[in-house]
Chain A
Amino acid sequence: MILLGQILIAFATLSLLAIGGANAVLPEMHRLLVDVHHWMDDATFTQLFALAQAAPGPNILAASVMGWHIAGPAGMMVATLGMLVPAACLAWIMAGLTIRLRGNTWMKPAQFGLVPIAVGLIAASGLIMAQATVTGWAALVIVIAATLFVWRTKYSPLWVLLAGGLVGLVLL
């Protein structure tokens, strides 16, 4: 029960910090789950996050997979609810407000000013994941190739994950 409570609090905190989505909140998630609570190691954290990316649905469901890994089905429920409910309440309140306040003037500056922060956080997420996976030259090559592919082409990033798995199978 104490563990489930801790999981709930950890993910509820993350829920309200997640400006810019799952990728932007990853550094804080890593800090809480790996460094503070020691619920999993670096490699496991990164692999679970990658699995959630590869599956359909919102990437934030990485929280569900991690909850399962920490405490089974109950952990999954608690982590998912913690991640979703606080943000959902806020979104619902705002949805009610903005229907009344059409043409809201505050939104553009808010978006414009917060997006660079989200992008910075996303870049840091990539770095943290890379640190956890790069143990040799093969993994380093995968990271660099995937970065270039996603940056320079318009193909779905899913091809990158598939190719990464295949290369891993052969070389790692």
Chain B
Amino acid sequence: MSERPSRTALFLGYLQIGLTSFGGVNAWARRFFVEKKGWLTEQEYAEVLGIGQVLPGPNALNTAIGIGTYFHGATGAIVCALGLFTGPMVLLAAVASLYDTYGQLPLVRAILTGIAAAAAGMVMGTAVKMVTKLRPSRTLLCIGLAAFTLAALKVRMPYVLLMLAPLGLIAAWRELDR
């Protein structure tokens, strides 16, 4: 590794990532830390991201905290998290107040319905894409389908996770063992 970034550099880095990261933070964060600055190797970033994805809570936040802790402990974590959320929060406060004022105008409502319909398709497309990329075994596919069905039927999510997470872990353990 070339150098250790200061806390200020981490904050400014995450501020920039937060404001530019359209459509998900992770790809942008990787580009910044690995490609642009070289503060982390590909392997190090993948490890931090992997832990962030297993933990509950937003991946982007978990990863930011992982990276901050890696360089500067608790203060590093706080600096990275603040940097990540400050910019978008200000922007979204503006969006939210505009929505409250103009959201009911017929024209605005039509545009927003269009965006919402597109977002619905985007979320479904992402799910399908992930399935085709992952090529899960039949057992894991069934577990995924069960999660889909239960969530679509609005079963409470703690119950869904309590039922399916142990099954998923056991299945994964056995498949990776082989």
Contacts and interface: CB of A to CB of B under 8 A. Distances in A.
B9 to A, nearest CB: 19
Contacts of A2: none
Interface residues of B, number: 96
Contacts of A17: 56, 157-158, 161
B105 interface: no
A139 B118 CA distance: 8
Nearest to B54: A110
- At the interface, is chain B mostly helix, strand, loop or mixed? helix
A92 B74 contact: yes
A143 B169 contact: no
Contacts of B87: 56-57
A117 B168 contact: yes
A59 B57 CA distance: 11
Contact of A164 (B22, B117, B127, B176): B117
A109 B130 contact: no
Interface in A94-134: 94-96, 98-99, 107-130, 132-134
Interface residues of A, number: 108
Contacts of A146: 117-122, 124-125
B41 interface: no
A145 B121 contact: yes
B144 interface: yes
B2 interface: no
B169 A110 contact: yes
A160 B122 contact: yes
The 3 closest A-B pairs by CB, nearest first: A168-B114, A87-B57, A164-B118
